[in-house]
Amino acid sequence: MPELPEVETVVRDLRPLLSGRRLASVQVSMHNLRRPWVKAWATQLVGRRVEEVRRRGKWIVIALDGSLFLVIHLGMTGQLTVVPGTEPVANHTHLRIDLDDGRAQLRFRDVRRFGSATLFTDAAALERFFEKSGLGPEPFDLEARSWREKLRGTDRALKAVLLDQRVVAGVGNIYADESLFEARLHPGRKASDLSAAEAERLRKAVAKVLKRAIERRGSTIRDYVGGSGLRGGYQEEFRVYRRTGQPCPRCGATIVRERLAGRSTHYCRQCQRR
């Protein structure tokens, strides 16, 4: 599933391609995504101008004039790109929006259909949606004291805490593993056992890893591409994720994998001792 760096890359690619453009027509496939598409939304979108493209957690928010917000979640295999209108339509394309004169199209493709496209008709409705989902703060906005209190308040494993979108928004399996390696912390340790120094080390590690991944346009494992169709490059810099049996880049010990928080978890037993 695309995580924060991948979603941020899509947003940064789309921003110059969409900002200021009008939505000329909307075509929707007959197949439902994770959240059903309401037929009236297509009519409401036509003629609207794109004012802003931003990210919240793993959600893409396209703000339109008239206080409308088209909110996209990429799910596991979603791709949101701007392409020439004459480009053949790939299978599993569920949403096509002509821009201006139709020479370019915004297309949402999702093979497994775990993604979604939802229209909110005012800012309050959008805010209520994020509040109801319990979406936590952005990783770059984590206040040190609040972060320590959240860790002290749970006996869950660190890996589970990092995956909890209510604690910190946007982090998934890849960057949880990479951040814990950066912080030299075992993914199975209880969050409440961390010292203040270790909690701060982890807070900074999460931000550092995510920023570097954004610089490299995220990680392309299978389906992910940015908003311009380009692949990510951070997968070439993985230090533990998907490197089971390979030497640790820090100490040379063997990277291991085990199941934690319901997910495959990769770490170095030497650098990340329990």
Cα pseudo-dihedral 256, 175, 133, 108, rounded to 10: -110
Identify each DSSP E strand in 169-235 by its residue range: none
CA distance 50 to 196: 44
Return the number of other C-beta atoms located less than 10 Å from residue 52's C-beta: 13
Q: Tell me which residues are annotated as active site.
A: 2-3, 58, 263
CA distance 251 to 2: 29
Max Cα–Cα distance, the chain, nearest Å: 59
Question: Which amino acid appears at position 2 of this protein?
Answer: P
What phi and psi values does residue 130 have, to the nearest 5 degrees? -70, -35
CA distance 58 to 169: 7
Instruction: Name the residue with tokens 């036509």.
Output: 46
Q: Please, what is the end-to-end C-alpha distance for the chain in angstroms?
A: 28
Question: 142-168 burial, b for 16+ CB within 10 Å, e for fewer?
Answer: beeeebbebbeeeebbbbbbbbbeebb
Helix (H) or strand (E) holding 264: strand 263-268
